[in-house]
Amino acid sequence: MSLLDKRIVLVTGKGGVGKTTVTAALGVAAAAAGRRTLIAEIGGARRIHALFGAPESTYKIAPLTKNLSSLSITADEAIEDYVLQQIRVRALFQLVFRNRVMGPFIDAVPGLHDLVQLGKVFDLSRQTKRGSLEWDLLLIDAPATGHGLTMLASPLSMMELTGRGPFYENARLVHDVFMDPARTALALVSLPEEMPVNETLDLFARLGPYQRQVQLIALNELHPEPFGALDLWEQARDSFEASPAVAEALRLTDRAVARARRQRLARERLTGLGGAPLRELPFLFRRDLREADLLGLGRRLLGATT
Amino acid sequence: MSATRLYICCGSGGVGKTTTSAAFALQLAMSGQRVAVLTIDPARRLADSLAVGPLGNEPQSVPLERLNPAPGGQLDAMMLDMKATFDDVVRRFAPDAESRDRILQNRYYRFVSTRLAGSHEYMAMERIFALYESGQYDAVVLDTPPTRHALEFLKAPERMSNLMDEGVMHWLSLPRDSFGFRALERGSEAVVSVLKRLIGGETIEEIAEFFHVFQGMWSGFRERSGLVRALLRGPNTRFLLVTTPAPAARAEAQEFVQLLRRDGLPFGGFFVNRVLPAPTTNQALSAELLPDRPAAIPQADWAEICAGVRQATVNQARLAGSEAPALAELRREAGDAPLWTLPEQDTDVHSLDALAAVSALLAPAVAQLSRR
């Protein structure tokens, strides 16, 4: 079953590994495959729109390209949204939420910020338009590792905290969807270096019951290898004369060989993790990725070989 | 005795902040100072490289005598233990044993002490302040919790103290009438009923109980956060941003500097990690400089290897060049403030010796920051 057949894909990984790029690339590829796709940026992040030259994302869904839209969710807006749905009386909402103690109180309920944001994604995933689902696929550009995990576990935290009651019931609905491998998939993004791979393995271990959801490991920013026969390098190196120009080339080749070895090791360590496919993305020299670049990356993520 | 200097290393996740903080602390110790470094969640390898066991709230002495030459200073490392720190705070400020135990056993407190937004940062500040107050150190280095943005660390304590201030504490902790809450201000009852509907009556009661008991600790808490805030703005504190030449770095640096300025927090400079050194030439190595093929290496592999060696400078120049715009932007953001670049390391830091090698690169930064 392809990643594109899920309802929700949550992209997470260590900070700086390229979660946003991976999310956008998956979005473009899904849209190109005809899926009506929505990207949700969490925690007020606003980076996706820039990749498409679109106006800055807000809480209101805006189109990026054909079949692809995005929004940026903040906890405050999600809370307002949620509460309005629950009490359905704007005047009462105004009364309660314009109360000066409300802000700090909301901050004081552990996990609430995370939960309402997941809840918003959950709502969007069920939203219908003219009798059918409005979105085939929701992609979440989730916060970095530690926080991403806390966010995923936030429905469960809320269930523990409340024990029962209306909030418990709502948290359970969200929990059920995010726990279900048939509907929700996790994509873990990593870099081909030791520490990020350690962190990915560690994250996977800490995922516990959510491990079944991991259905993509993206290894980002792979550099081309200087040559294939890395094992022969030390032997080959010995035959060079040490003039200054040669010395610099040798030193830089040492670096390139060391990096290629680290990349191979990273690939080896991540292969087969959770039975999820490992997809590799090349390091791109350009800073301004275009839609065509994203489509290329997205197709690789979905398993195309070129 | 001169006052303890405080260095707060901020930065988003994945920039090498923890390693840079540790290397910076080590370099301070190399210069003869007594140093403490507080890290949030170091990878095991870093704890290994500091040559200490599993790090906890208590300072562990890093065995600097293993280095050659052994430096004159001293380095203690510790890792923030959220729960233990919060428990300490409760013990310190609780007016009596009963309140203390009621808080420590409250179910909501157990959530607050580990999961409340901003509590990590608040507790890091708390630990830093205790280290500062102890007078045992010339310098204290804080590796801030990993966040998407460097700035979240700066905002979090404010959120926490808003909570600890008036607001909800005052309101939820007032003596309760038979309905559970006193109608303090217009609308309070409506507020409570909405909250109960949303979250559940029992949970609200538990939270109220927590705040009720917490009330007795309030003034101590508030006084303490006032002192911490003053310390952060004081002449002995410097905020440092650890970053990389990544495309997003510029926006972050810009915001960071603006926020520091707005809040009157002292800016120390930027550390730019993982900068690729530019080669001396961007031309391929002349084919004439290639040796004859050693007999043991097959012809096809040899051809590939030679092509790789010839292109090494070209590739490196291309890589270094792709970073140049980001570096130039960072320099512009830094303005008059210092910016130190650190070259990309070939391997992760695995040992105290490896950490010492990285830390040697920070000698100019330590010299410049100590001169002020």
Higher-scoring residue by pLDDT: A249, B230: A249
Are the beta carbons of B123 and B80 closer than 8 angstroms?
A: yes
Q: CA A139, A141, A145, A147 torsion: positive or negative?
A: negative
Distance (Å, whole) CA A54 – CA A48: 9
- Which chain A residues are within 8 Å of B346, Cβ to Cβ? 255, 258-259
Cβ–Cβ below 8 Å for B194 and A96 = yes
Closest CA to B19 of B1, B52, B43, B36: B43
| A41-55, A285-299, B23-37, B189-203: least confidently modelled range | B189-203
Tokens matching residue A278: 């490992």
B87: buried, middle or exposed (CB in 10 Å: 19+, 13-18, 0-12)? middle
Closest Cβ opposite residue B198 in set A83, A107, A226: A83
Which pLDDT does position B307 carry in this prediction?
97
Kindly report the number of other CB atoms within 10 A of residue B57's CB atom: 18
Q: Is B193's pLDDT higher than 80?
A: no
Tokens matching residue B298: 């097959």
**Per-residue confidence band for A49, with pLDDT thresholds at 50, 70 and 90:** very high
Distance (Å, whole) CA A20 – CA B183: 47
B284 dihedral zone (left: phi>0; alpha: psi -120 to 50; beta): beta
Tokens matching residue B136: 């045992």
Q: Is B179's pLDDT higher than 70?
A: no
DSSP state of B183: -
Are the beta carbons of A155 and A172 closer than 8 angstroms?
A: yes
Mutate to test the interface with A, among B191, B214, B290 (most CBs of A within 10 A): B191
**Per-residue confidence band for B166, with pLDDT thresholds at 50, 70 and 90:** low
Which pLDDT does position B209 carry in this prediction?
76
Which pLDDT does position B250 carry in this prediction?
76
| B32-36, B189-193, B325-329, B330-334: least confidently modelled range | B189-193
Cβ–Cβ below 8 Å for B168 and A256 = no
Kindly report the number of other CB atoms within 10 A of residue B38's CB atom: 23
Are the beta carbons of A57 and A48 closer than 8 angstroms?
A: yes
Q: How far is CA A282 from CA A138, A221, A298, in A?
A: 25, 5, 12
Mutate to test the interface with A, among B45, B80, B193, B203 (most CBs of A within 10 A): B203
Across the range A76-84, mean pLDDT stands at 85
| A58-62, A192-196, A290-294, B346-350: least confidently modelled range | B346-350
Kindly report the number of other CB atoms within 10 A of residue B184's CB atom: 14
Are the beta carbons of B120 and B146 closer than 8 angstroms?
A: no
Closest CA to B92 of B47, B115, B123, B136: B123
Closest Cβ opposite residue A256 in set B162, B190, B308: B308
Are the beta carbons of B33 and B72 closer than 8 angstroms?
A: no
Q: How far is CA A249 from CA A162, A226, A228, B164, B280, in A?
A: 63, 12, 18, 60, 10
pTM over 0.80: yes
Identify the three-state secondary structure at position A184: strand
Which pLDDT does position B33 carry in this prediction?
95
Are the beta carbons of B276 and B343 closer than 8 angstroms?
A: yes
Tokens matching residue B92: 């310190």
Across the range B333-346, mean pLDDT stands at 88
**Per-residue confidence band for B12, with pLDDT thresholds at 50, 70 and 90:** confident
A49 φ/ψ angles, rounded to the nearest 5 degrees: -55, -35
Closest CA to B75 of B5, B41, B25: B25
Our CA dihedral for B195, B199, B201, B206, rounded to 10 degrees, sits at: -100
| A43-47, A91-95, A230-234, A242-246: least confidently modelled range | A91-95
Mutate to test the interface with A, among B174, B305, B311 (most CBs of A within 10 A): B305
**Per-residue confidence band for B177, with pLDDT thresholds at 50, 70 and 90:** very low
**Min Cα separation A136/chain B (Å):** 28
Give the chain A residue whose CA is nearest to the CA of B345.
A255
Residues 6 or more apart from B294 whose CB is under 8 A from it? A235, A236, A238, A239, B302
Residues 6 or more apart from A183 whose CB is under 8 A from it? A6, A7, A8, A177
- Residues B265-297 pLDDT 10s: 899 999 999 898 889 999 999 999 999 999 999
- Which chain B residues are within 8 Å of A86, Cβ to Cβ? 197-198
Q: CA A185, A190, A192, A193 torsion: positive or negative?
A: negative
Cβ–Cβ below 8 Å for A47 and B248 = yes
DSSP letters for A186-204: EEEEE-SSHHHHHHHHHHH
Kindly report the number of other CB atoms within 10 A of residue A223's CB atom: 15
**Min Cα separation A163/chain B (Å):** 8
Residues 6 or more apart from B150 whose CB is under 8 A from it? B10, B11, B12, B144, B241, B243, B252, B255, B256
For chain B, give the percent of residues with pLDDT over 90: 33
Across the range A221-248, mean pLDDT stands at 93
Give the chain B residue whose CA is nearest to the CA of A196.
B14
Which pLDDT does position B178 carry in this prediction?
39
Our CA dihedral for A108, A109, A111, A114, rounded to 10 degrees, sits at: -80
Strands A128-129 and A132-133: antiparallel
Q: What integer best gives the mean pLDDT of chain B?
A: 82
Tokens matching residue A85: 């749905």
Across the range B5-18, mean pLDDT stands at 85
Q: Between A and B, how many residue pairs show a Cβ–Cβ distance under 8 A?
A: 212
Which range has highest mean pLDDT (A151-155, B124-128, B188-192, B288-292)? B288-292
Which pLDDT does position A227 carry in this prediction?
97
Q: CA B118, B120, B121, B126 torsion: positive or negative?
A: positive
Q: Is A237's pLDDT higher than 70?
A: yes
Cβ–Cβ below 8 Å for B146 and A15 = yes
**Min Cα separation B170/chain A (Å):** 9
Q: Is A92's pLDDT higher than 70?
A: no
A141 dihedral zone (left: phi>0; alpha: psi -120 to 50; beta): beta
Cβ–Cβ below 8 Å for A239 and B292 = yes
- Residues B35-67 pLDDT 10s: 999 987 655 666 777 777 777 788 889 999 988
- Residues B239-250 pLDDT 10s: 999 998 877 777
Distance (Å, whole) CA A191 – CA A280: 10
Closest CA to B172 of B139, B218, B138: B218
**Min Cα separation B358/chain A (Å):** 16
* Helices B82-93 and B97-105, axial angle in degrees (round to 10): 150
Q: Is A284's pLDDT higher than 90?
A: no
Tokens matching residue A47: 């980076």
CA atoms lying within 13 Å on the CB side of residue A11? 27
Can you name the residues that pair with A129 across neighbouring β-strands? A132
Closest CA to B240 of B348, B131, B144, B135: B144
Q: Which amino acid does the sequence have at B140?
A: V
Cβ–Cβ below 8 Å for A96 and B117 = no
Cβ–Cβ below 8 Å for A111 and B247 = no
Cβ–Cβ below 8 Å for A241 and B291 = yes
Tell me what ipTM this predicted complex has: 0.83
Q: Is B34's pLDDT higher than 60?
A: yes
Q: Is A71's pLDDT higher than 70?
A: yes
Strands A37-41 and B60-61: unpaired
* Helices A19-32 and A291-301, axial angle in degrees (round to 10): 90
- Residues B113-165 pLDDT 10s: 766 656 677 788 888 888 999 999 999 999 887 665 556 666 666 666 666 65
Q: Is B186's pLDDT higher than 60?
A: no
Tokens matching residue B191: 């507020």
